[in-house]
Amino acid sequence: MRVLITGGGGFLGVKLAKALAKKGEIRGREITHMTQADLFAPEPVKADFEVEGVALDIGDRASVDAAFAAKPDAVFHLAAVVSGQAEAEFDIGLRVNLHGTLNILEAARHAGNQPIVVFTSSVAVYGGEIPDVIDDFTILNPQTSYGAQKAATEMMLTDYSRKGFIDGRGLRLPTVTVRPGKPNAAASSFMSSIFREPLQGESANCPVSEDYPIWFSAPRTVVANLVHAAEPPAEAWGENRCLALPGLTNTVREMVEAMTNVAGSNAAGLITWNPDPFVQKICDGWRAHLKPEKALRLGFHQDKSFEDNIRWFIEDDIRR
């Protein structure tokens, strides 16, 4: 079993690579080789099998074809331009999120071995005039270019799977928090930084109001779900290969209270509350109330409380 991870140098990509290194198999088949691909060749994770880091621009079709020359059996396609950048730099979002993903699908199809393709879509595919509670049959109505590019490629992932070209599985990720590292151009970046920075004694700004609700999941849960996504048999997915992952809904206020419960009250005092209309506008287009019934039926994991997320962040990313 050969594995390819795009975005394999990103924070989720590295955690996923580590999880696969530890698990050592997919669908009971031993992993023999893993490639972590990213714009710059990542440092490979340690594993009992061969792991390599390679540079890959998914916007370049020839490079993507080359990455598929070894016919990976399982592909985790995480590479993407984040929401804030895709909104501000439309052409880059189009090149990477739309055409880059179409390149991956075409290369996977032409590899000819019907690879498993686990694709990270996003809750950003929902928005606009839709019912308050989103279920498995709610229309995708993205209100960001990032969400539109994800929604468009979801349609193609399901079609490539229906045609038997690939065995695709698309996961609409909740906001992943708490993320380690630095703030990025995602409009949701603050949803990690207002916990990550204060927990390490630094200040961070919250650009939206305290009562803004967030549909979130912890990195641990999301990585477990990415690993799980390769497992259920094709038939179990039915006629739509994409689904909303489980998550939890809390307001910013509830999340800050959870941080205080776990780590004491000093951290919350380091949050500043200066509104940012650009971020607020993007966030207003997102939705926070979902009923992910299909995902739960297929055995995907659900967070229990944001307090766990704070604990896991401290364990996995501060004290490591």
User: Which 109-138 residues touch its own copies, going by CB under 8 A?
Assistant: 127-131, 136-138
146 is catalytic: yes
H or E element that contains 319:
none
Cα(309)–Cα(311) distance, rounded to whole angstroms? Answer: 5
Selecting among 126, 146, 160, 212, the annotated active-site residue is 146
Beta bridge partners of 3: 34, 74
Cα(80)–Cα(96) distance, rounded to whole angstroms? Answer: 6
For position 88 contacting its own copies by CB under 8 A, the verdict is no
Beta bridge partners of 216: 175, 248
Cα distances from 122 to residues 144, 253, 263, in angstroms, run 11, 23, 30
For the bound state, the minimum distance from the C-beta of residue 284 to its own copies, rounded and expressed in Å, comes to: 11
For position 238 contacting its own copies by CB under 8 A, the verdict is yes
| Interface residue with its own copies, options 55, 139, 236, 318 (CB under 8 A) | 139
For position 289 contacting its own copies by CB under 8 A, the verdict is no
For the bound state, the minimum distance from the C-beta of residue 66 to its own copies, rounded and expressed in Å, comes to: 21
For position 159 contacting its own copies by CB under 8 A, the verdict is yes
For the bound state, the minimum distance from the C-beta of residue 147 to its own copies, rounded and expressed in Å, comes to: 8
| Interface residue with its own copies, options 201, 233, 239, 274 (CB under 8 A) | 239
Cα(108)–Cα(118) distance, rounded to whole angstroms? Answer: 12
Cα(117)–Cα(100) distance, rounded to whole angstroms? Answer: 14
Length of the chain, in residues: 320
| Interface residue with its own copies, options 240, 249, 260, 280 (CB under 8 A) | 240
For position 249 contacting its own copies by CB under 8 A, the verdict is no
How many residues of this chain interact with its own copies, rule: CB under 8 A? 31
CB 195 within 8 A of CB 254: no
Q: Which of the residues are catalytic?
A: 146
